[in-house]
Amino acid sequence: MSDHAELSARAVRMIGRGAAICLLVLAIAYGIGGGEIEYSFSSDPLGPKVFPVALAVVLGLLSVWYFFSCGSAEGFPAGRLLLRVLGIPLVMIVAVAMFEPAGFMASIFVLTFGTALLFGAPWLKALAGAIGHAVLWWFVFSYLLEVYLPAGSVFGG
């Protein structure tokens, strides 16, 4: 094995271990936050603390396991791929920011349409998919599950 390949494998292990440490810190913070949830006596038998704390424990155990057995990793994206990778969180942030002012359907539409375009879908198919997705989830949440969804103040809701 050449020095360059060995250095590259070492760098990959260091990146994996760094990610594992970040996940462990996140698990600890999530577990502390979940453990501080206050609840009344009349809540469910286990209380609201159990699920977040259990998730934190599982994430903590998996991050320790990953720390000691880092796998291989792909190179950092560049060019158009980097723009697509950064586009996903941007689309998600925009959709979340629109949720209250524009409403559930508009927010889901933007999320689906933007994601479809980033994954290379043609405009017409992305548009049809986004409309169908927004209507489907509006129906499921509003009528089947009877959950309140904001209509948005922009559209008179």
Q: Identify whether residues 9 and 55 lie together within a single domain.
A: yes
- 0.85 exceeded by the pTM? no
Find out whether 82 and 119 touch, Cβ atoms under 8 Å: no
Q: Domain end: 45, 68, 91, which one?
A: 68
Q: Domain end: 68, 89, 111, which one?
A: 68
Say if residue 43's pLDDT is above 80: no
Q: Identify whether residues 56 and 97 lie together within a single domain.
A: no
- Structural domains of the chain, count: 2
Q: Which amino acid is at 123?
A: W
Q: Is the dihedral of CA 131, 154, 85, 52 positive or negative?
A: negative
Maximum distance among all Cα pairs of the chain, rounded to whole angstroms: 66
- pLDDT tens, position by position, 76-106: 777 888 888 889 999 999 999 988 888 888 8
Say if residue 74's pLDDT is above 70: no
Q: Identify whether residues 60 and 91 lie together within a single domain.
A: no
- pLDDT tens, position by position, 14-25: 878 888 899 999
Q: Identify whether residues 16 and 58 lie together within a single domain.
A: yes
Q: Identify whether residues 49 and 100 lie together within a single domain.
A: no
Query: Residue 150 burial (CB < 10 Å; 0-12/13-18/19+)?
Result: middle
Q: Is residue 153 part of a domain?
A: no
Percent of the chain with pLDDT over 90: 40
Q: Identify whether residues 41 and 95 lie together within a single domain.
A: no
Q: Domain end: 68, 103, 125, which one?
A: 68
- List the domain range (segments joined by +) for residue 88: 80-144
Determine the number of helices (DSSP H) and then strands (DSSP E) in the chain. 5, 0
